Amino acid sequence: MAALLSAAISRVHMLSTSDHASVVSINLFVALLCACIVIGHLLEESRWINESITALLIGLCTGVIILLTTGMKSSHLMVFSEDLFFIYLLPPIIFNAGFQVKKKQFFRNFITIMSFGAIGTLVSCAIITLGVTQMFKRLDVGPLDIGDYLAIGAIFAATDSVCTLQVLNQDETPLLYSLVFGEGVVNDATSVVLFNAIQSFDITHMDHRIALQFIGNFFYLFVSSTMLGVLTGLLSAYIIKKLYFGRHSTDREVALMMLMAYLSYMLAELFYLSGILTVFFCGIVMSHYTWHNVTESSRITTKHTFATLSFVAEIFIFVYVGMDALDIEKWRFVSNSPGTSVAVSSVLLVLVLAGRAAFVFPLSFLSNLAKKTQNEKISFRQQVIIWWAGLMRGAVSMALAYNKFTSLGHTHLRGNAIMITSTITVVLFSTVVR
């Protein structure tokens, strides 16, 4: 009896300790988010640093402090979770992107945006895959097969244009903004769809039949995800317009729009589609149809609510990435071969540059051939900005890399650890040196 009581008390103590650790983590992240907002506001006029980089640097500094206070031991506070990223943090960012987009400019350049985002991502993935296949064998990275190389191509084809969009002005440069913005969203969706397609097929035994299935599955995911987002957005508009019978409630309207938006994302995940594409087009449809069926107070509230949720999620991601970059567990595996890790990171950066250039300039040339007026054409200077804007790699690349090369955020293989640390290096370097 005494033994059972002692075991029960020990279990309660362990649970309370775990609960306390969660409280500590939440307090730390909330305090860091507040610090990022305040410091970012003070540095708002700076040309060289924005809120994303501020959050990243604060995350890095916090990671250093945690390492020093824990005696250089690994901390669970700093383990990146792809589930947290894809399920909770990414949906509000992508939905707000679709909800706030200037639809006229977006659909005017729709073909160019889709070619950059979809075809461009495939070209970039192919070049990165070919490059790493040739170079990694010479660098002794580890036992990687063709599926791993294709996955690396998809991981590093995913851009992060958040930093650039914070610098560009939507009103002053509408064409440039719509191209960078639209391509960024479609690129992320294409990269995730491509990555999932690679994971679901046995690429090591590729033949014509499997190749056709792979291509068909890719386009099925792309079209189905888009249609699901459109239908969910239209359903929300129908519910608010037809079922209220003239009785409007701001609280219910805002709550319904938020829940329907999140439902679109989770339905896509439930049916193994692309949640990014679904929630993006759901946001576009909601802003065009649902938004005009609610009261004026609901319009103002939803606009600021979605923007605030997106803003907080973006800051959280950069703090999270910064802290995770200094998780000591991953770096211990590559401490005996730092030269290999540096070489892998350098190769990936060069391939990202080459893969980006391989489609931006040719596709811009083809797009200009179809334009009638000079104002509609993409100038060479704008092409360079588009090329440079897409060089940054961010949380999508991190999440996909963790999905591929770790188990529950941890890795015990040297080759996998090299890929994780190299991804972190590329993300940090490309974000800070933007």
Ordered by start, the domain boundaries in the chain are 76-305+340-432
- For the record, the structure tokens of 182 come out as 């639209």
3-state SS class at 288: helix
CA distance 51 to 39: 8
Report angle CA 27, 266, 272 to the nearest 5 degrees: 125
Per-residue pLDDT at 12: 40
- Of 150, 85, 134, 131, the C-alpha closest to 427 is 85
Q: Tell me how crowded residue 103 is: count the other CB atoms within 10 A of its CB.
A: 14
Closest listed residue to residue 427, CA positions, set 387, 403, 394, 401: 394
Q: Low-confidence residues of the chain, pLDDT below 70?
A: 1-19, 21, 47-48, 72-80, 161-171, 202-207, 244-247, 328, 333, 335, 408-410, 412, 434
Q: Report d(CA 117, CA 186) in Å as an integer.
A: 5
Query: What residues are paired with 407 via a beta bridge?
Result: 410
pTM (two decimals):
0.85
Q: Which of 112, 114, 196, 204 is nearest to 154 (CA)?
A: 196
Tell how many helices (H) and how many strands (E) occur in the chain.
Answer: 19, 0
Residue 149 and residue 219 in contact, taking contact as beta carbons nearer than 8 Å: no
For residue 244, count CB atoms less than 10 angstroms from its CB and return exposed for 0-12, middle for 13-18, buried for 19 or more.
middle
Could you give the percent of the chain with pLDDT greater than 90? 28
Predicted pLDDT of residue 15: 43
Query: Contact, 177 vs 168, CB < 8 A?
Result: yes
CA 210, chain centre distance (Å) = 28
Helices assigned H by DSSP within 43-89: 51-69, 82-84
Cβ atoms of 276 and 330 closer than 8 Å: no
CATH code linked to domain 76-305+340-432: 1.20.1530.20
